[in-house]
A and B are shown apart, each in its own frame.
Chain A
Amino acid sequence: MEHAEPNLSYASGEVLIAEKITKRFPGTLALDQVDFTVYAGAVNVLVGENGAGKSTLMKILAGVDRPTSGRLLLNGSTAEFSSTRDAERAGIGIIYQELNLFPNLNISENIFAAHELTQHGVVQHREQEKSTRELLNRLEQPLNPATLVRDLRIGQQQIVEIAKALSQNVRILIMDEPTSALTGAETEALFRIIADLKAHGVAIVYISHKLEELLTIGDYVTVLRDGKLAAQAPAPGVSLAWIIEKMVGHNVAAPRRRLQKTPGDNDKPALEIKDLCLPRAGSGFTLENVSLTLRRGEILAIFGLMGAGRTELFECLMGLHPEATGDIRLSGRRILHESIRERIDLGLMLVPEDRQRLGLVQQLSVGDNITLANLKRFVTFFWLSQHRETQDITTLMRELAIKARTPTYPVTSLSGGNQQKVVVAKSLLTLPQVLLLDEPTRGIDVGAKAEIFEIMNQLAEQGLAVLFVSSELAEMFTIPDRILVLSKGKVTGEFAHDEVTEKLLVTAAAAQQQTEHVTPHPPTEVSLHRSQNSKDL
């Protein structure tokens, strides 16, 4: 890593160094030997996609979690935080993305929660309110300290959260998406505060998905990808394209390309989406006029950054957003008010992004998870045929190479890659026509990634239509026949496999306010089609 001293006017030094931090959760490797240096008097920006490990790293720095291995060096000596209190005592403050405020208490009570100013055990409300008023004035937010937090706008609550951290005399301040709820003016005020803190030698660790913002205030940029350190560099000289490239990565085990076939003219599309709109709470759209067509035997990838609307698109397809408008057709049949069950029965199935929260039932065994979405396949009279269940489970476990000692093993005992394959197996058992995979390779190692791609290849060869979402740039050059780029809820590009370049994708993904599609590419010999749709497993 290049730790070149940037040309900055203030004194800077390495105040906190995280060395070879590894954090393991059951089934996931959240951080893998990550090095991270925090410089005093500078804004140390931390970027990465969802699940890249930013939050985990931040929690370790703030004493919420302890690393599985690796160590923290604070001002040159080893530091171990067993609680947030320890970290606080060492001068590390944190502002969480989810606000950690008590809505039933007022501003000053929140700011001094657990650090009340007392005299003989009695809380000195007047003094607390006086300090609160000073803090708020410094933040250019002259609120009444006696206002209940529940009566504040979310942006104002964020200000209170910031004031709370400032009241602790922090030397290292971690901010997780501090501007996500702020208005333009509030953001500017926050940036002035940050500049002020920097001038006082405070180190800021700044996490945000608003990439433009990072370039405005960042002094050092650290990019995490998939639990690993992707890059660390001083901000001058860093560009938006560089950050995106590091975030989305380069290297992926190259799976084989399927044979390409010219689609017949009479092919009915497996999935057709026309003008799908998903209104956002308040105003605007999370998805705006998204249209796409997917043929049987075709693999279509959707590329986009956080907040592009990738996951929401899949949620709309599964019927989780009744407020969405537009025309969705599955093999020509219009899907409107069908329940999730009915959509699954019609051949639509989702492999969700967050397999722990949405994909698996942790208390159930490997086998029970696999059969969960199509139990009626096994009903004889009115019970489940264990024999037929075991048969299907064994077949799927063999075909997908799921490594578990027996199907009765708890699903949590598997590695991340194998857990993902369990979710895929569950989806396959519903005999889908169209398989939606949301970030199917997130948080699993390279070998398992290649296996997942190979599975997707085979499914397409069997005639399934496969639609997958990824934020890994390199994955766009592997198996998909076509790539659709989403940015801020709009389709900003569509490319065939043989014409796509990194530059095209990055430009389209960064397109902010493009109003209409980039001209859609005519379907040439890129998509593959197999006429028979083999449902047998």
Chain B
Amino acid sequence: MSDTAQTPQSMPTSAATSTLPKASGLSLGVFLFRLRALIALMVLILIFAILSPSFFTRENLIILVGQTAINAIMAIGMTFVILTGGIDLSVGSTVGLAAMTSGLLINRGIPIPPLGVAIFFNIPAIIILVLCLGLLVGAFNGVLITRFNVAPFIATLGTLYVARGTAQLSNNGATFPNLVGKPELGNTGFPFLGDGSIVGIPIVIWIMVLFAAVAGFVAGKTAFGRQVYAVGGNERAAELSGIYVNRIKMAVYMICGMCAAMTGLITASQLVAAHPAVGESYELNAIAAVVLGGTSLAGGRGNIWGTIIGALVIGVLTNGLVLLGVQEFWKKVITGLVIILAVVLDQLQERLQRRLSLNRA
């Protein structure tokens, strides 16, 4: 024990070094272990680059990152939710609902039956409206969880059905095709979101980079981010420290809903059509990316960069296995095993850290 009374002037550093002899020897191992997702990503890239000549081409990499981006944007929102110890199963349905809403707004506008007219919006306005819809879905989840004390799993499972059903109702289960808009309505240009590019890099990737940068900053550098970690780590201690726990929870579900709506916009734009089934089971990919990135499902531990790496691991794995001609069914088996392995390693890290802190106590 290192609790013996010391003069208040004693430097904390000198006192601590003598009491923690074991830590330095293990810290490199712990450090590498923490970077395991990144290392795994490198190894995967290396393997596929060797096995498949077409893997490391510019075209393929752009396709790969583009595919990853869709999942990554959703996973960024999911990371906030999971950091608070929650879960959001409704993101896949929110993707569908957002896609259908953008289709409706472009092809039909908002009809006003008594006047027999419809209001059409330009594309930036549509994007903003759909993102707001995402916030709204998140707020719905948040209210269920904070005000009515519904477990996040159940609340968002309910929303999963509600949002999916609403997406199907919006056009009686049919697709909104050909989302190119009409010049006379001033709503052309929607497909640019999905297949346009700036300085040779697809807009989708720019969006992912923007979302990741903002989210990384918010999680790591702002008071809000710190409070998210605190709520996930120890809700009651956070509350007694004066943190408005319910507000934080509300906010993370809204962020998550907005990220899902962004994904819905991108998907609809890429397909130039909105199908009500789009985004089905996307929530699982998003959760997998978050978990692969080392974020603990119990809350309080993890970060945005890990999530991006996790999404890339899934993306590289999917892409590489396709290039190698691996059968679709095997792809699923392998992806599943990778996720399980990641969680097992996570548990090992927890145990390692607990042992370390026990040694120091």
Contact = CB atoms under 8 A, between A and B. Distances in A.
Asked if chains A and B come from one complex, the reply is yes
Interface of A: 24-29, 253, 318, 339-341, 343-345, 350, 352, 357-364, 368, 371-376, 378-379, 382-384, 386, 397-406, 410, 412-418, 426, 430, 444-445, 447-448, 450-451
Interface string B85-122: 00000000000000000000000000000000000000
B139 to A, nearest CB: 21
B23 interface: yes
Nearest to B20: A405
B125 interface: no
Contacts of A398: 8-9, 11-12
A176 to B, nearest CB: 24
B80 interface: no
Contacts of A344: 241-242
Interface in B1-50: 1-13, 15-17, 19-20, 23
B358 A24 contact: yes
Interface in B209-257: 217, 221-223, 226-227, 229-230, 232-234, 236-244
Nearest to B17: A405
A373 B357 contact: no
Given A364-B229, A445-B3, A448-B3, A379 B223 contact: yes
Given A363-B301, A413-B360, A26 B354 contact: yes
A440 B77 CA distance: 40
Contacts of A359: 237, 240
B232 A363 contact: yes
B271 interface: no
B276 interface: no
A372 B228 CA distance: 11
14 contacts: A26-B357, A340-B242, A359-B237, A371-B226, A372-B226, A372-B238, A373-B241, A382-B222, A398-B8, A405-B13, A406-B13, A413-B356, A426-B241, A430-B242
Contact of A413 (B4, B239, B357): B357
Given A372-B226, A413-B356, A361 B237 contact: yes
B223 A401 contact: no
Given A358-B237, A359-B237, A378-B223, A399 B301 contact: no
B300 interface: yes
Mostly helix, strand, loop or mixed at chain B's interface? helix
Given A27-B361, A344-B242, A362-B233, A404 B217 contact: no
A340 B357 contact: no
Nearest to A423: B237
A453 B13 CA distance: 23
A321 B2 CA distance: 38
B353 interface: yes
B242 A403 contact: no
A450 B12 contact: no
Contacts of A374: 242
A401 B8 contact: yes
A360 B3 contact: no
B1 A402 contact: no
- Leading 6 A-B pairs by shortest Cβ distance: A363-B300, A361-B233, A373-B241, A375-B223, A363-B233, A341-B242
Nearest to A378: B223
A339 B229 CA distance: 21
A384 to B, nearest CB: 6
A74 B262 CA distance: 66
Given A383-B221, A405-B23, 9 more contacts: A26-B358, A375-B227, A379-B222, A383-B222, A398-B11, A412-B357, A413-B20, A426-B241, A445-B4
Given A384-B223, A413-B357, A401 B12 contact: yes
B237 A360 contact: yes
Contact of A415 (B3, B230, B301): B3
Given A363-B301, A412-B357, A357 B23 contact: no
A403 B241 contact: no
Nearest to B358: A26
A451 B353 CA distance: 29
A345 B301 CA distance: 28
Given A375-B226, A397-B12, A403-B19, A358 B5 contact: no
Interface residues of B, number: 48
Interface in B262-296: none
Nearest to A379: B223
Given A384-B222, A413-B356, A358 B236 contact: yes
A372 B230 contact: yes
B96 to A, nearest CB: 33
A356 to B, nearest CB: 9
A384 B237 contact: no
Contacts of A364: 229-230, 233, 300
B23 A26 contact: no
A104 to B, nearest CB: 18
B347 to A, nearest CB: 15
A410 B233 contact: no
Contacts of A401: 6-8, 10, 12, 15
A283 B249 CA distance: 35
A401 B360 CA distance: 17
Given A340-B242, A418-B2, A404 B237 contact: no
Contact of B243 (A341, A404, A412, A448): A341
A410 B234 contact: no
Given A403-B16, A447-B5, A448-B3, A410 B240 contact: no
A368 B223 CA distance: 11
Contact of A361 (B16, B300, B357): B300
Given A363-B301, A383-B222, A413-B356, A451 B244 contact: no
Contacts of B17: 405
From A339, A379, A383, A397, residue with most partner B Cβ within 10 Å:
A383
A187 B226 CA distance: 50
A383 B300 CA distance: 20
Contact of A404 (B5, B12, B354): B12
A481 to B, nearest CB: 23
Contact of B5 (A29, A350, A402, A450): A450
Contact of B361 (A24, A350, A399): A24
A340 B238 CA distance: 11
B80 to A, nearest CB: 15
Contacts of B239: 340
A234 B204 CA distance: 78
B226 A368 contact: yes
A219 B356 CA distance: 43
B240 A350 contact: yes
Contacts of A363: 229, 232-234, 300-301
Contacts of B358: 24-26
Given A26-B354, A403-B15, A357 B3 contact: no
A372 B236 CA distance: 13
A430 B240 CA distance: 12
A461 to B, nearest CB: 14
Contacts of A386: 221
B16 A405 contact: yes
Contacts of A341: 242-244
A445 B8 contact: no
A359 B15 CA distance: 24
Contacts of B19: 403
A399 B7 CA distance: 10
